[in-house]
DNA sequence: ACCCAGGATTTCA
DNA sequence: TGAAATCATGGG
């Protein structure tokens, strides 16, 4: 999906540090960024298409169509105001996390649109990441608006509400189609605006009432969609990691309580370090974390 | 054919 | 409160 001959395009640079695009955009937080080699990634945010290339402390950005909003979209998406060094310093009191952080200095939590995150993680239930990406692309291609050739914006809540149940069932989402359909009818933009004002615990309580939203999806949406850094999503990879690293097993609520006590307000960052490591470990056979020293 | 997937819901003890 | 069955489908 190269951009060529596009007059409505702008380029600029922003300083975001630390930042590693592979670690940040390739670890399952987002489903629409694609690697283009050489530390370059491309994907849509809102109604714009971006190509990102990191060069030292400077992030080079190409935005189509560009405009005054482009810079802020990138800064918000990559949470440029997070003091990642301070967060890493605090979390490093846990030696298990500290070992992992050393290999993931450039990992940042991303901030995604609230509705996009909710719909995406409802689709993500009990599917692997390649399939999740395919389902999200299907939703965008059938209901979103074209941005550049071959790439559509993520469809708005209003647009999905207008879609028929039948249209959604033809997307290959399986049982997830029903949830997307029902949630779109239970929410509106005003309700989401109100939810933005809630603290994590109350937000989580509201999200989990939605059909197709359980413990894990509520925490992913709280963390990536609503920016609640104290959320700690636990999926099958995290269950394995928590058992291996901390000898902690049991119900979601037990693991969540343990995580909150141990990692506090930055549990979300801790989760990403653990999750990213567990998956790269499975791919490479590498073991960054050990459980030899688990005293805080 | 087989196993698993960034699970949620329902059912039953 | 918690284990077990069910769901609908595709990627590896």
State whether the beta carbon of A278 lies below 7 angstroms from any atom of strand B.
Answer: no
Which pLDDT score, from 0 to 100, does residue A91 have? 97
Closest C-alpha to A72, from A34, A16, A26: A16
CB A10 within 8 A of CB A261: no
The whole-number pLDDT of residue A294 equals 29
Structure confidence at residue A284 (pLDDT): 66
Average pLDDT over residues A92-112: 94
Window A250-289, strand C contacts by Cβ < 7 Å: 250-251, 253-254
- The reply to whether A131 Cβ lies less than 7 angstroms from strand C is yes
The answer to whether A268 touches A109, Cβ cutoff 8 Å, is yes
Closest nt to A125 (CA→C1')?
B7
User: What predicted TM-score, i.e. pTM, was given to this entire model?
Assistant: 0.94
Confidence label for A261 from pLDDT (cuts 50, 70 and 90): very high
- Summarised one tens digit per residue, pLDDT across range A26-56 is 888 999 999 998 789 999 999 999 999 999 8
Q: What is the mean pLDDT of residues A138-147?
A: 98
Which strand C nucleotides have any atom less than 7 A from protein CB atoms?
1-3, 7-12
Closest CA to A110 of A33, A222, A188, A223: A223
In the predicted structure, residue A292 carries a pLDDT above the cut 90: no
Q: What pLDDT is recorded for position A7?
A: 60
Distances from the Cα of A197 to the Cα of A159, A203, A277, angstroms: 24, 9, 32
A275 touches strand B (CB under 7 A): yes
pLDDT of residue A277: 85
Does the pLDDT at position A3 exceed 50? no
Residue A58 neighbours by CB distance under 10 Å: 14
Where residue A5 falls among pLDDT bands split at 50, 70, 90?
very low
Name the nucleotide with the smallest C1'–CA separation from A254: C1
The per-residue pLDDT of chain A, averaged, comes to 92
**In the predicted model, is pLDDT for residue A17 greater than 70?**
yes
Contact call for residues A271 and A97 (beta carbons, < 8 A): no
Reply yes or no on whether the pLDDT at A100 is more than 90.
no
Segment A237-241 mean pLDDT:
92
Q: How far, in Å, are A91, A133, A135, A136, A185 from residue A181 at the CA level?
A: 39, 19, 15, 14, 7
Task: Check pLDDT > 50 for residue A287.
Answer: no
**What does the alpha-carbon distance between residue A134 and residue A140 come to, in Å, rounded to a whole number?**
10
- 3-state SS, chain A, equals CCCCCCCCCEEEEEECCCCCHHHHHCCCCCCCCEECCCCEEEEEECCEEEEEEEECCEEEEEEECCCCCHHHHHHHHCCCCCCHHHHHHHHCCCHHHHHHHCCCCCCCCCCCCHHHHHHHHHHCCCCCHHHHHHHHHHHHHHHCCEEECCEECCCCHHHHHHCCHHHHHCCCCCCHHHHHHHHHHHCCHHHHHHHHCCCHHHHHHHHCCCCCCCHHHHHHHHHHHCCCCCCCCCCHHHHHHHHHHHCCCCCHHHHHHHHHHHHHHHHHHHHHHHHHHHHHHHHHCCCCCCCCCCCC
**Residue A64 CB burial class (10 angstroms; 0-12, 13-18, ≥19):** buried
The predicted-structure confidence for A163-209, as pLDDT tens digits, reads as follows: 999 999 999 999 999 999 999 999 999 999 999 999 999 999 999 99
Q: Burial, A255: exposed, middle or buried (Cβ in 10 Å; 0-12, 13-18, 19+)?
A: buried
Q: Can you tell me the mean pLDDT for A217-234?
A: 98
| pLDDT tier, A291 (very low <50, low <70, confident <90, very high otherwise) | very low
Percentage of the residues of chain A whose pLDDT score is greater than 70: 93
């Amino acid at each position: 999906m190269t951009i060529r001959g596009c007059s409505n395009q702008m380029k600029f640079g922003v300083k975001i540090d630390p930042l590693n695009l592979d670690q940040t955009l390739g670890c399952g937080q987002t489903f629409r960024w694609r690697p283009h080699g050489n530390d370059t990634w491309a994907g849509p945010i809102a109604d714009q298409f971006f190509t990102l290339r990191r060069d030292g402390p400077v992030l080079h950005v190409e935005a189509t169509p560009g405009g005054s909003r482009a810079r802020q979209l990138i800064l918000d998406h990559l949470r440029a105001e997070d003091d990642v060094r301070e967060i890493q310093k605090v979390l490093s009191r846990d030696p298990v996390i500290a070992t992992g952080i050393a290999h993931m200095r450039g990992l940042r939590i991303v901030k995604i649109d609230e509705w996009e995150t909710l719909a995406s993680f409802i689709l993500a239930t009990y599917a692997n990441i390649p399939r999740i990406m395919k389902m999200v692309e299907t939703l965008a291609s059938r209901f979103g608006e074209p941005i550049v050739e071959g790439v559509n914006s993520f469809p708005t809540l209003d647009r999905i509400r207008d879609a028929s149940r039948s249209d959604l069932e033809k997307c290959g989402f399986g049982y997830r189609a029903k949830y997307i359909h029902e949630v779109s009818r239970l929410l509106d933009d005003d309700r989401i605006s109100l939810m933005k004002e809630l603290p994590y615990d109350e937000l989580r309580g509201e999200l989990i009432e939605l059909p197709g939203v359980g413990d894990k999806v509520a925490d992913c949406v709280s963390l990536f969609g609503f920016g609640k850094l104290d959320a700690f999503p636990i999926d099958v990879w995290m269950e394995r990691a928590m058992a291996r690293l901390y000898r902690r097993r049991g119900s979601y609520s037990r693991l969540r309580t343990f995580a909150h006590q141990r990692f506090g307000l930055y549990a979300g960052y801790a989760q990403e370090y653990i999750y990213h490591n567990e998956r790269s470990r499975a791919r490479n056979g590498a073991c960054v974390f050990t459980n030899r020293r688990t005293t805080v």
